[in-house]
Amino acid sequence: MIGSVLLIPMLLIRYGLPLFADKNAVKRLAFSPPTKGRERIAFIVYQVSTLAVLIYLFFVKIAVDSVMFYIGALLYCTGILLYALSIIDFAKPSGQGINTNGLYRFSRNPIYMAFLIFLLGCVLITGSSVLFVLSAIFQISVHWIILSEERWCLSEFGEEYEQYMKKVRRYL
């Protein structure tokens, strides 16, 4: 079986679920804050590595014959579930626009964390070291994207976001 089937649930959640949760969520999910310096480079790396992961999954096969497959399947399913929950939570921010409900009570970036878990699951399911390297590059660039988002949130929401940052961790 080809790895591209792993993308189907993720794409349905990313592009379908927000339409049902809240129409404004689609616009908010597509928003990228302004970047500065290294963040611009990270944004390009983020876009290229995302595309590389998506394309690569069309050429890699799923390796069902190992214990790693089952561990990967567990991570994959966990990532898909967390991704769906974080998209639903993202669609319903507070009146000020800050997401503090659901998974956002535990992580300021549950969508990115869910995607990381999903990618780790895909790596183990396929047994691909190339996918591991692409995922690592993607995740490093995500860190810089998160920093730019935090900078934007601080300028947009001020003290309220600063207090949120003190209460809730960036990742886990």
Residue 172 lies in a domain: no
**pTM, full prediction:** 0.90
Residue 18 lies in a domain: yes
For the chain, strand residue ranges (E) read none
Residue 43 lies in a domain: yes
Residue 74 lies in a domain: yes
SS3 assignment, position 61: strand
What is the pLDDT tens value at each position of the chain, 172 positions in all?
788 899 999 989 988 888 777 777 777 777 888 888 888 999 999 999 999 999 999 999 998 888 999 999 999 999 999 999 999 888 887 777 788 889 999 999 999 999 999 999 999 999 999 999 999 999 999 999 999 999 999 998 999 999 999 999 999 8
- CA distances (Å), 10 to each of 54, 99, 159, 169, in order? 11, 21, 34, 25
Domain that holds residue 123: 3-167
Residue 72 lies in a domain: yes
Please give the tally of structural domains in the chain.
1
